[in-house]
Amino acid sequence: VATIREVAKLAGVSVATVSRVLNSQGYVGVDTRKKVEQAIKALNYTPNAVARSLFNKQSKSIGFIIPDITNPFFPQLVKAVEETLTEQGYTVLLFNSDENLEKISKIIDLMKAEYVAGALIVSDHVKEEHLSNISIPVVAIDRTISGNIPSVTVNNYENAREAVRFLIQQGCSRIAHIRGPKEVYTSEERYRGYCDEMAAQGLPQFVTFGNYELVTSSQATISLLAEHPQIDAFFAGNDIMAVGVIKSLTSLGIPIPEQIKVIGFDGIEWGTTVTPELTTMMQPIQQLGHKSGELLLDIINGSHQGSQHFSFDACLIERQSTNGRG
């Protein structure tokens, strides 16, 4: 592997000059530049990223902390983020936190040690104080951390109301909500949206915890239905739970959507594998990923101005689980 010194020697110049053409910084004579470029090509030279990091105290990589790589929502987000970041010459370092604070603090140490240029964080447990002794730019995705930390989110609250309104338009009035875990931002927001919309419409509320899990949600469905047989629709806090609802209803022999309609939230592929296919509020994953990548890069480059917080709307995808003759 060639070093800058070898390039300099071949080109008959000093390493400083080579460094200048490498970073297109400072004045370099036209012919000198040409000689250097030839030498670079001849030696198939690439600057050593580690040495650069050591000096610059910054690398061309971005840390990305997600809570759970096995939740299909996140891999899609990762892909979107990677698209914009690699396009700008950055590498994404992906970390799985499992929402474990010890792990998170290790990850943050590691990111500092690796001189990452910035960080993208999806977490309900990371608070501003965890980030206080970290001097690198951070953008929160999918949930806010604090008003001081830039964020890119989804209008969970408003879109949840929209889901409920859609069910009402379809003729439902006894709408149950299987909600996600406590203290999880998206879960709380969607729950709040459900409550407010139902209250606004003067409709009764039926709520149980499903914890964003399939099995829990299946069970919750059955017990809720036992208590309130009049339920004519389920709004699940995410698609995984909605699939659980569909499983239970199917096993109970309840026709979907004729007797009970089901709507989810997320837009993951699972929703299309079940029968009937799941109607859902599809999250704008591409937009989330691209915007957060761009925002972070802008902040890193110091070229960002204006609002620190962005949010996008989920989009209703009507499929079979609500498309009855209704």
Interface residues toward its own copies, by CB under 8 A: 1, 46, 48-51, 53-54, 59, 69-70, 72, 75-76, 78-79, 82, 91, 93-94, 96, 109-110, 112-115, 214, 243, 247, 250-251, 269-270, 272-275
Measured CA angle at 263 (ends 209, 77), to 5 deg: 85
- CA dist., res. 150 & res. 156, Å (int): 17
The rounded Cα 14 to chain-centroid distance in angstroms is 46
Of the pair 193, 267, the CB lying nearest its own copies is at: 267
- Contact residues: DNA, CB under 7 A: 1, 3-5, 12-17, 19-20, 22-23, 25-29, 31-33, 45, 47-48, 51-52, 54-56
Of the pair 112, 174, the CB lying nearest its own copies is at: 112
- If contact means CB under 5 to 8 A according to the sort of partner, which of DNA, its own copies, none does residue 19 touch? DNA
- CA dist., res. 243 & res. 277, Å (int): 9
CB 314 within 8 A of CB 283: yes
User: To the nearest whole angstrom, how small is the minimum distance from the Cβ of residue 247 to DNA?
Assistant: 54
User: To the nearest whole angstrom, how small is the minimum distance from the Cβ of residue 3 to its own copies?
Assistant: 12
User: To the nearest whole angstrom, how small is the minimum distance from the Cβ of residue 137 to its own copies?
Assistant: 18
User: To the nearest whole angstrom, how small is the minimum distance from the Cβ of residue 16 to DNA?
Assistant: 3
- CA dist., res. 233 & res. 259, Å (int): 8
Of the pair 16, 200, the CB lying nearest DNA is at: 16
Of the pair 51, 199, the CB lying nearest DNA is at: 51
- If contact means CB under 5 to 8 A according to the sort of partner, which of its own copies, DNA, none does residue 88 touch? none
- If contact means CB under 5 to 8 A according to the sort of partner, which of its own copies, DNA, none does residue 3 touch? DNA
CA distances for 187 relative to 51, 64, 155, 295, angstroms: 44, 22, 12, 25
Of the pair 110, 315, the CB lying nearest its own copies is at: 110
Residue 43 tokens read as: 């030696």
- CA dist., res. 112 & res. 110, Å (int): 5
220-258 CB burial, b ≥16 within 10 A, e <16: bbbebbeeeeebbbbbbbbbbbbbbbbbbbeeeeeebbe
User: To the nearest whole angstrom, how small is the minimum distance from the Cβ of residue 18 to DNA?
Assistant: 7
User: To the nearest whole angstrom, how small is the minimum distance from the Cβ of residue 276 to DNA?
Assistant: 58
Of the pair 5, 79, the CB lying nearest DNA is at: 5
- If contact means CB under 5 to 8 A according to the sort of partner, which of its own copies, DNA, none does residue 43 touch? none
- CA dist., res. 65 & res. 151, Å (int): 14
299-322 CB burial, b ≥16 within 10 A, e <16: bbeeebeeebebbbebebbebbbb
| Residue 62 CB-density burial (10 A; 0-12 exposed, 13-18 middle, 19+ buried) | buried
User: To the nearest whole angstrom, how small is the minimum distance from the Cβ of residue 10 to DNA?
Assistant: 12
